[in-house]
Structure 1
Amino acid sequence: MICSKTIKLATTGILCLAGAASLSAQFKTDQEFWNQAHIRKTFEKSYEIRSKVEPDLTEEEQVLLKGVITMVTGDPATGIQPDKDKALRAILDALAANPDATAAFDFIAANFYAEKGDLKNAIKYYDSATKKFSSFLRAVRNGAIMKVKEGKYEAALKDFTKAIELGAKDTTTMGLLGLCYVNTGKYFSAETAYREAIVLDPTVKDWQVGLAKSLLQQRKYEEGIAVLEQILVDDPENDILWSSAANAYLGLEDAETAVAIQEIVDRLGKSTPESLVFMGNIYMSRSLNDLALEYFQRAIKMDPKQDPEVYVAVAETMTARGTYDQATKIISDIEKSFTNNLSDKDQLTLLRLEAQIGLATGGGEKVIPILEKLIERDPMDGQALLLLAEFNANKGTTDGYSRADLYFDRATKVRAWEVRALISWARSYVSRERFGKAIPLLERVQVIDPQDHIGRYLDQVRKVYIASQGL
């Protein structure tokens, strides 16, 4: 008869060996992650026998397990070659014949599936192992790791917590627990878990990066910067870490340092569209408009398949700030680079911006076809209706006023633009000295959206109207 302790030790060895690939995390390739010293060290520790967290085996199960071990390792003496697929089939056949067989069989099957990269079945059998033997520590822990790989962070969080209750307190468990907390928005808990993981093994960069992220998400910028600077000593060309540091300094309202850091990333030749937009936004906020334009244009050219929405927003900001030359160039670049990637919404937004810029720079007549096109595509485009109304009103002719009143009236029927259209229409009437027409429009504004400055304006118009009527 095979000694129970010998079988248990052998079981531990085969289970850990088969489960090697199960420790791959999502931020590295399987081989790279497994080759890390802290991962191998964790698995080596699991060779120890822990009777309270391991299921027992019957004599019959011990015999079957010995055969499975032989299938996995091979036997030079008899010429038997390793065959893990055969070993897996033997375990599955045993479970099919007796679903209540030892949880160790479920665990072995789970590890074999994990090694194959079959996360769904790996999780299935890890979970079935823990259902049979709830304190099966390695099944709980490995199941949690597989759930991290599959992006099921809430479920993994629950399993890691249970694994810690059962005695797991290694650097990988605590580090991946931190990763789960980060991905579920629990940044304070993530910070605690990562700090514990780093205490257990301060050489693992992944945990340091995770700690920095959890600190920055809590707006603990100075602490986050200190961690990032420590990592950058060993990895000075990591553009992601430099960009994170730049964002942290921006959080501290230190734009000068943030800009300097992003310039380092740029000089390293590792700029991304995101980092270039970051620079453009900083320079635009400081009214260095030509420099901002340069970075935005470089970002656009870098990847024609990127989402153009961020650049449409940039064009909107430039137009609102009155930097029409730069806005015009950005709009042109957007239309050229993202011809087939612009949504209807973005196309309409760009048309409106072109219209606004044209009106503001004296190109009114050229803008009319754009505005009419906008209204043709959307008869309830309040902004286009209002721009047409104001353009016609500014002509100062009878025909212009007549057209303006039609567009003003249509604009007031668009709820989102009603108040602005009423105010603009009233001012148009005041400029024509038709005070009696302006008063009810302003009164309607005060009913819909009372505003002190409009109330004062209404009082002035009333006084002028009374005086003009000789009352």
Structure 2
Amino acid sequence: MISSKTIKIAATGILCLAGAASLSAQFKTDQEFWNQPHITKTFAASYSMLAKTEPELAEEEQVIVKQVLEQLKLTNDKDAALKTILDALALNPDATAAFDFIAANFYAEKGDLKNAIKYYDSAAKKHPSFLRAVRNGAIMKVKEGRFEAALKDFTKAIELGAKDTTTMGLLGLCYVNTGKYFSAETAYREAIVLDPNVKDWQVGLAKSLLQQSKYEEGIAVLEQILVDDPENDILWSSAANAYLGLDDAETAVAIQEIVDRLGKSTPESLVFMGNIYMSRSLNDLALTYFQRAIKMDPKQDPSVYVSVAETMTARGTYDQAKTVIADVRSSFGDQLSDENSLKLLRFEAQIGLATGGGEKVIPILEKLVERDPMDGQALLLLAEFNSSKGTTDGYSRADLYFERATKVRAWEVRALISWARSYVSRERFGKAIPLLERVQVIDPQDHIGRYLDQVRKVYIASQGL
């Protein structure tokens, strides 16, 4: 027979919580994280009541708890045990908070987060100092991704006396996911003091440090973890980013090369390498990494590589840009949004104009304008190309496109300046002056002011005034 002094409230040790997004990548599965000893130990609490923080049981309530324990002992039928508790609560909704807590634990085991949180919150409401109900409810909310709500519960649990490694570590996780990185650092350090062997908290501490741009401290933590986990590509990549934050591109590249040699490169890490090499003007080498990244996952977001093509076009590395554009089309053709498709057409037009292939790209530009009559960039490129022909017909067409481009607010100033220069090249200085004056009204610029003065002087001289 179980005596009233040894009645134990059912706090399960099988609560395998799903990991939060910011940490899930550090483990093969979410289950792997939540099944770790330091997590399950927190839940595998004894069934004994804690006088200062948990509700006392009336005599008739003790009978029901005994019945539940006997059911579990004889058949381990947790559904039947849960029904017993729910029936008791149905008969008396104001019954002890212990009943709500037991029901919450059973629901947590079943993976029913909604009901688990409902009954943990109910238990805490009935008995505000019910520490385990508050803390377990917080952990369920972490599993559900409700970090703000979990943060409030963890704070209350600490006020009630909780100061175990899991409480402090998950508090840090909540702070990280709500952007409170300094507080996260403090919580993780406390969790590590309580248990220095938990890698999760060390990784969380490193993340909170890096988010605060404390790169050297973050690197020191990452290096400590990597001693025991040398093939963790995510940690290596984090270290590489930290070294980049210290403007140490050489070390950042070396670290990413390690990740690559481990065979654990991702599209993100390959793009990282490509960007580093591109910034150092090693364009052919950069291209190899971008191409590998594109081919690695046909379902990834092509916007990243559209941006790469844009950067290459702007830098004048046209051969590499054309290769990236071709690869993007072949790999992501069906996934390209209208916006990205138009961008690629613009880049091709810019490259064609810059490399003497203007006649070939005119149909592209005209197609862009046909799809969007307010495409200021395409209109301006058409205007400049026609102006560059130096023919009467070319100038006539150019003026029409320049005028249309000036009607597009975002391109108005650039179109006015380019149109004015076109007139200057034709020695039609009187036409250029009002255009430049308009620029100075819309967006005054010193160098345009000086250019305007020069054009005025030449105009006056040409008129013999």
TM-score (norm 2): 0.96
Aligned residue in 2 for 1:205? 199
Q: Please give the per-residue CA displacement for 1:386-437, whole angstroms capped at 9, x wherever unaligned.
A: 0000000000000000000000000000000000000000000000000000
Partner-residue secondary structure (3-state), 2:52: helix
Q: Which moved more, 1:45-54 or 1:202-211?
A: 45-54
Answering whether residue 300 of structure 2 is matched by residue 306 of structure 1, we say: yes
Q: Please give the per-residue CA displacement for 1:199-226, whole angstroms capped at 9, x wherever unaligned.
A: 1011110000000000000000000000
Match of 2:269 among 263, 267, 275: 275
Q: Offset at 1:23?
A: 5.0
> Structure 1: 5+ residue runs without aligned partners?
75-80
Structure 2: how far apart are the matches of 1:262 and 1:334? 24
Q: Offset at 1:46?
A: 4.5
- What is the identity percentage for the equivalent residue pairs of Structure 1 and Structure 2? 85
| Amino acid corresponding to residue 16 of structure 1 in structure 2 | A
Q: Offset at 1:31?
A: 5.2
| Amino acid corresponding to residue 100 of structure 2 in structure 1 | D
Aligned residue in 2 for 1:36? 36
Distance 1:84 1:60, change over 3 A: same
| Amino acid corresponding to residue 420 of structure 1 in structure 2 | R
Report if aligned partners of 1:140, 1:162 keep a CA contact under 8 Å in 2: yes
Q: Offset at 1:312?
A: 0.4
Structure 2: how far apart are the matches of 1:191 and 1:150? 23
Report if aligned partners of 1:21, 1:30 keep a CA contact under 8 Å in 2: no
Aligned residue in 1 for 2:59? 59
Q: Please give the per-residue CA displacement for 1:210-255, whole angstroms capped at 9, x wherever unaligned.
A: 0000000000000000000000000000000000000000000000
Answering whether residue 330 of structure 2 is matched by residue 319 of structure 1, we say: no
| Amino acid corresponding to residue 69 of structure 2 in structure 1 | I
Answering whether residue 413 of structure 2 is matched by residue 392 of structure 1, we say: no
Structure 2: how far apart are the matches of 1:176 and 1:122? 18
Aligned residue in 1 for 2:221? 227
Q: Please give the per-residue CA displacement for 1:2-35, whole angstroms capped at 9, x wherever unaligned.
A: 743222xx22xxx223x53155544365753454
Aligned residue in 1 for 2:462? 468
Aligned residue in 2 for 1:183? 177
Report if aligned partners of 2:15, 2:40 keep a CA contact under 8 Å in 1: no
Answering whether residue 11 of structure 2 is matched by residue 16 of structure 1, we say: yes
RMSD of the TM alignment (CA)? Answer: 1.4
Partner-residue secondary structure (3-state), 1:305: coil
Distance 1:397 1:199, change over 3 A: same
| Amino acid corresponding to residue 440 of structure 1 in structure 2 | P
Distance 1:461 1:33, change over 3 A: closer
Aligned residue in 2 for 1:50? 50
Answering whether residue 1 of structure 2 is matched by residue 6 of structure 1, we say: no
Report if aligned partners of 1:95, 1:101 keep a CA contact under 8 Å in 2: yes
TM-score (norm 1): 0.95
Match of 2:154 among 147, 151, 160: 160
Structure 2: how far apart are the matches of 1:416 and 1:98? 68
Q: Offset at 1:361?
A: 0.2
Structure 1: how far apart are the matches of 2:231 and 2:16? 30
Q: Which moved more, 1:27-36 or 1:185-194?
A: 27-36
Structure 2: how far apart are the matches of 1:335 and 1:45? 57
Report if aligned partners of 1:315, 1:331 keep a CA contact under 8 Å in 2: yes
| Amino acid corresponding to residue 177 of structure 1 in structure 2 | L
Report if aligned partners of 2:19, 2:31 keep a CA contact under 8 Å in 1: no
Structure 1: how far apart are the matches of 2:308 and 2:66? 67
Structure 2: how far apart are the matches of 1:467 and 1:220? 62
Structure 2: how far apart are the matches of 1:30 and 1:185? 22
Aligned residue in 2 for 1:77? none
Q: Offset at 1:38?
A: 1.7
Partner-residue secondary structure (3-state), 2:374: coil
Structure 2: how far apart are the matches of 1:368 and 1:343? 22
> Structure 2: 5+ residue runs without aligned partners?
none
Q: Please give the per-residue CA displacement for 1:53-110, whole angstroms capped at 9, x wherever unaligned.
A: 1111111111011111112221xxxxxx221101111111111111101101111111
Distance 1:42 1:334, change over 3 A: same
Aligned residue in 1 for 2:83? 89
Report if aligned partners of 2:17, 2:31 keep a CA contact under 8 Å in 1: no
Q: Offset at 1:454?
A: 0.3
Q: Offset at 1:344?
A: 0.5
| Amino acid corresponding to residue 279 of structure 1 in structure 2 | M
Answering whether residue 373 of structure 2 is matched by residue 379 of structure 1, we say: yes
Report if aligned partners of 1:22, 1:142 keep a CA contact under 8 Å in 2: no
Structure 1: how far apart are the matches of 2:34 and 2:356? 66
Distance 1:35 1:428, change over 3 A: closer
